[in-house]
Structure 1
Amino acid sequence: MKPEYAGREQTLAKHFILEKYLQSLTFKLLLGGYSTLTYVDGFSGPWESRTDDYSDTSFMIAIRVLKDAQAQLRAQGKNKTIRCFFVEEKAKAYAQLHAAVMQHHDPARGFYVYTFHGKFEDAVDEIVKVVGTSFALTFIDPTGWTGYEFDKIARIMQHQPGEVLLNYMFDFINRFTAWDDVKITASFDGILGKDWRSRLDSTLARHEAVQALFAEELRKAGKFGHVLSTPIAKLSDRQHFSIVYGTRNAEGLATYREVEFSAMKAHGMHRHEAKQAMREAATGQADIFAMAGLQPPPPIETQVKGYRREARVWLLDQLRTQGRAFPFSAVWQAMIETFMLRRTDARQVCAELAKEGLIANTWRVNGSRKSTPGDDDIIGLTPPSITPGSDTATVAG
């Protein structure tokens, strides 16, 4: 792990997701026909940077990824335009931001950098002008829960084509939504809606209900087809924040889940290494298992096994409740939005259920040798069978 992230393992995970998703998105979009990509950072900072070149900040990570992608595409004879829009309210931070990012403003090469000194909510008109008709990825990374009221930034979130990555300050929000202070309660209206307490799901724990309501309000405000949430924990194993992702594109959904898996795998190992270092510093003794090269399995892989078991039950319940079959394209999208799984996991869930005779193996008909379903294959329960000597239909398997 990079030394500048020591004690900030959760920030490293956040930056990993931003970097890898932005990297994947940029190449897919610009190789797929888009001529321009705009990146918007609503709360740029810098905050807690430990490097002279700000390489451990979201804005510099974005510039590095975007400039590298543009250069690679130019080497292939593809000239693409990149625009970056950075917003910062605090004067000192803005001065540092402006000096750092404007060095990369290079209109001659189609790389444009814009900055705004003020509140994110007040920058909407300028952002909309810069974005124009391009694809926009908006990164919202606040220090609290204010400054991005959904009705005030709706035009940015609803921009099509576009997606949003947002840092939901879980720990902070969880503490303050428990207060009964009228002013504090009202301060959440911008992201949870009016009378939000009366609209919480009573079947969930309060912190889960608040985050679920936030996700639903984000979905409605941005008119997103899919909203996902990635929990990021501190060394104490207590959830610190969540990266919430909003998209209208199925391939974006699949790509994000792939990036998320890699990020959580790396985050698990970084947290393990940090905890191990803390134990060694406290006891003066090295971990003999680590010295032997024996590492525990990354937590995300253990979690995925559990999610796949839950997804099996969920899928069978959906098929029985709906009383109909669905194309796999609809199944995997719903499944990986509901569970922290990838498209490949959804394929394996269906393959296992088919092997057990619980759903029909439609992808192996007519001599096909496919081992897992494709988007157009139909996922449905196996037809009921008739027990010999009886006219009563029963579900096979």
Structure 2
Amino acid sequence: MHDKDRYESREQAWIKHLMLEKYLEILVLKVGTKWKSFVYVDAFAGPWDSTSEDLSDTSFSRALAVLESCKKRLKKNGVDLPIRAIFLEKKKSSASRLISYAEKYVGDVKIEAKCADFLDEINALSASIKKDEFAFVLVDPTGFKDVTAPRVLAPLLQKRGVELMINLMWDHINRFWSHSDTQNALSDIFGEDRDSAVAAVGGSVESARCGVYTQRLRAHAGSSGGRLWASAFPVLNPRKKRTHYYLVYTTHSPTGLLTFSRVAESTWQEQSNTRAQVKLKRASPEGQTLLFSLDEVDVPVERSIDLDSVKRAWLSLLPSVGSQVVVDENLMARLLEDYSCLECDLQLSLKILISEGVVENSSSGRTRPKRQVHPERKEKLRRLL
């Protein structure tokens, strides 16, 4: 776990790294039993804004710690998974520090660090990932750039065994959405007629813009690697009531999308705690120790979701009394995409419908405390009213 104090004034990076660590651990342990090897790619490795001499508060260092831990755990279970990490950085001064770090690194993960522009490396990188290798690519540029454009990422999106986590710099995008100097880059990311596309998606402007982006990712992925699933997790500005950036995740597995959703859910409370801690510190006189910790404060989870809309999503699958539907992982993943929500939102709205006597889980026959339906078991829902 990170020392959160190292992330003073950049708490959003703490949430990003926490999210990365949580998901990467689950992914590698699962991949290790099914694939021949694992590749981790940090496309914009930096280091950026590190306050630690050993660079332990950087994304690549945190990822390496997880990779090493997973490799050891797999080996204890008789699985010797080869893991290699590729770190790219265009800026020469940062790349020099990155390469020095890699040269001094001692561990079981093989590292390749180079001074290179990810934009120039995408095709070669995609070609270097073998059919029996699984790869996870972190695309985390500073600011918003055309490198996050779906057409640019297409070679990676089209490969079945490749997942991406893309940092979409939302604060910058919103600020420059109508700025004349950024129209080409934004058109590349969201499409030429992006305002019409956003209006067609509907809902909040922020949610609709994100929906347009994930739609374009799926379109550019095509079908060569199988159906691409894409979802987004908002990381909030620690000092203001607005989204700082979105972590957009892509996978060719509905199971992966559900796993990402569950990791996102578990990260929400930490994000709320972090924002509350920042608020308490700012409200206290400089140098004064806080009189109480967050453990003593009931911090609400800062999420707003239209549960009525999510309830209607379920009812659209059960249009009349007696209608039935089998809920598998594909269906659950599609709902997550279509309604820009988390699995906990789907489960909560379904719990309300069950408690109201509108729907029943005919595979279970009882109301559960949390998960009303288990998609991995392919349980069946039935409309009662």
TM-score when normalising by structure 2:
0.85
Distance in 2 (CA, whole Å) between partners of 1:175 and 1:207 is 12
- Asked if the contact 1:351–1:373 (Cα under 8 Å) also holds between the matched residues in 2, the reply is no
**Aligned AA for 2:280?**
Q
1:297 aligned partner:
299
Structure 1 stretch displaced more, 67-76 or 236-245: 67-76
2:116 aligned partner:
118
- How big is each residue's C-alpha offset from its partner over 1:172-195, in whole Å with a ceiling of 9 and x where there is no partner? 01111122x2x4211223222334
2:177 aligned partner:
177
SS at match of 2:62: helix
- Asked if the contact 2:170–2:244 (Cα under 8 Å) also holds between the matched residues in 1, the reply is yes
Q: CA deviation at 1:28?
A: 1.1
- Asked if the contact 1:140–1:164 (Cα under 8 Å) also holds between the matched residues in 2, the reply is yes
SS at match of 1:363: coil
- How big is each residue's C-alpha offset from its partner over 1:10-64, in whole Å with a ceiling of 9 and x where there is no partner? 1100111111111110001113x22211111111111101101111111111111
Alignment of 1:222-237 (within 5 A): 222-223=221-222, 225-234=228-237, 235-237=239-241
Distance in 1 (CA, whole Å) between partners of 2:5 and 2:296 is 23
Q: Structure 1 segments of 4 or more deviating over 6 A?
A: 284-288
Distance in 2 (CA, whole Å) between partners of 1:52 and 1:287 is 28
- How big is each residue's C-alpha offset from its partner over 1:80-115, in whole Å with a ceiling of 9 and x where there is no partner? 110111111111011111111233376xx5x32223
Distance in 2 (CA, whole Å) between partners of 1:334 and 1:359 is 20
Unaligned 5+ runs, structure 2: none
Corresponding pairs, count: 368
**Aligned AA for 2:91?**
K
1:89 aligned partner:
90
Distance in 1 (CA, whole Å) between partners of 2:290 and 2:4 is 21
Q: CA deviation at 1:119?
A: 1.5
Unaligned 5+ runs, structure 1: 383-395
2:130 aligned partner:
132
Distance in 2 (CA, whole Å) between partners of 1:313 and 1:287 is 45
2:318 aligned partner:
319
Distance in 2 (CA, whole Å) between partners of 1:240 and 1:291 is 25
Distance in 2 (CA, whole Å) between partners of 1:136 and 1:299 is 32
1:244 aligned partner:
248
Alignment of 1:341-380 (within 5 A): 341-342=342-343, 346-347=346-347, 349-364=349-364, 371=368, 372-375=372-375, 376-380=378-382
Distance in 2 (CA, whole Å) between partners of 1:311 and 1:287 is 40
Q: CA deviation at 1:286?
A: 7.1
TM-score when normalising by structure 1:
0.83
* Shift in CA distance, 10/258, structure 1 to aligned 2, threshold 3 Å: same
Identity %: 25
2:69 aligned partner:
68
- How big is each residue's C-alpha offset from its partner over 1:358-384, in whole Å with a ceiling of 9 and x where there is no partner? 12441146xxx78443432222322xx
- Asked if the contact 1:308–1:341 (Cα under 8 Å) also holds between the matched residues in 2, the reply is no
1:2 aligned partner:
4
Structure with higher Rg: it is 1
1:51 aligned partner:
52
* Shift in CA distance, 177/345, structure 1 to aligned 2, threshold 3 Å: closer
